[in-house]
Amino acid sequence: MTLRELLRVSTSEPMLTQIVIELIQLLIVGLGAPLLVGLVRRVKARLQGRRGAGVLQPYADLRKLLAKEAVVSETTSWIFRFTPYLLVATMLLSALLVPLLTTRTPLGFLGNIIVLMYLFLLGTFFLALAGLDAGSAFGGMGSSREMAVAALAEPTVMIAIFAIALRVGNTELDEIVRRGATDSLLLLTPGHLLAFLAFFIVALAETGRLPVDNPATHLELTMIHEAMVLEYSGRHLMLIEWAAGMKLLIFLALLTNLFFPWGVALTVTPLAVAVAFVALIVKVGVLAVGIAVIETAMAKLRLFRLPALLSGSFALALLAVVSFLFVK
């Protein structure tokens, strides 16, 4: 994008409107993440015949962790202390890049899929370093597994989104969502469905959900993400749990708006933004219920079977690219 285009994008909306959109997206991701986690847990409990905790329980859990003292080993370096804050910062920055409500996001000109994947990888990389920095056996094991999963999952994310970007001719998230919202024929192609399935499988892997990982387990031999954070406590653990919830919300919002951009505001007006907010709640809620159903019906895969699952998602993404190239 040229400097002239950048200036045109940055001045196309009033500054106050851009600031309001930024704040709304930050509030949606920051405050809505614990609610989304609570919804998934609640639906899972009801499907399993349990009463379960309320959907607001994650807020109480975060508050409880914030009030506790953070116990840090003397052998750890600055990486261990710095990582929780980095995770939260990368998720909040990602919230400004993803078109949650409108295709005119304030930082939309930076919302290239490559930039977004680098932000996700930055958090994953530092979390793996923090797991190694603690010096525990389980932390190192979890870091090794996390990087192996990331190495298999990240290329699939990029190829799946590049598949739909081929039809649009642009890798900017705002433009992809805008074209999908204005041209419904883009959504009625085999490649679109294949890319959606590939992205959904990878979203489960990236956010540590079943059947790739079990966020509720404390069995050391099967943990991936949880093994890296065993040494964290207090406010540091609160930040990590909060960042994990925000990552889940961002992935689901990205999944819904990229592949089903119904209701996304094409113009920044109060009514359009309000409709987009309701549509986002409904679409993310449907995916959250779907995740709860999957986690209830399926058990965690063995570690040695994960490459087959992620390789399958990679194959689906490649088929989506081939479909967009040769199926008109």
* pLDDT digit string, tens, across residues 178-206: 888 887 777 778 888 999 999 999 999 99
**pLDDT of 321 above 80:** yes
**Coil, strand or helix at 145:** helix
For residue 5, is it within any domain? Answer: no
The whole domain housing 266 covers: 14-326
For residue 9, is it within any domain? Answer: no
**pLDDT of 9 above 90:** no
216's enclosing H/E stretch is none
* pLDDT digit string, tens, across residues 11-40: 455 778 878 888 999 999 999 999 999 999
Dig out the tokens for 164 from the structure: 């739909």
Distance CA(269)–CA(133), nearest Å, equals 48
- Mean pLDDT score of the chain, rounded to an integer? 88
Least confident of 26-30, 157-161, 215-219: 215-219
Taking Cα atoms as reference points, which of 174, 192, 165, 191 lies closest to residue 260? 192
| Per-residue confidence band for 113, with pLDDT thresholds at 50, 70 and 90 | confident
| Per-residue confidence band for 227, with pLDDT thresholds at 50, 70 and 90 | confident
| Per-residue confidence band for 220, with pLDDT thresholds at 50, 70 and 90 | low
Q: How far apart are the first and last CA of the chain?
A: 28
For residue 173, is it within any domain? Answer: yes
**Close Cβ partners of 212 (under 8 Å, ≥ 6 residues apart):** 149, 204, 205, 224, 300, 301, 306, 309
For residue 251, is it within any domain? Answer: yes
For residue 266, is it within any domain? Answer: yes
Domain count, the chain: 1
For residue 1, is it within any domain? Answer: no
* pLDDT digit string, tens, across residues 269-279: 889 999 999 99
For residue 270, is it within any domain? Answer: yes
**pLDDT of 256 above 50:** yes
For residue 98, is it within any domain? Answer: yes
Contacts by residues 255-258 (CB-CB < 8 Å, ≥ 24 positions apart): 255/196, 255/199, 255/200, 255/203, 255/287, 256/280, 256/283, 256/284, 256/287, 257/98, 257/99, 257/100, 257/177, 257/283, 258/161, 258/164, 258/173, 258/176, 258/177, 258/180, 258/199
* pLDDT digit string, tens, across residues 293-313: 999 999 888 888 999 999 999
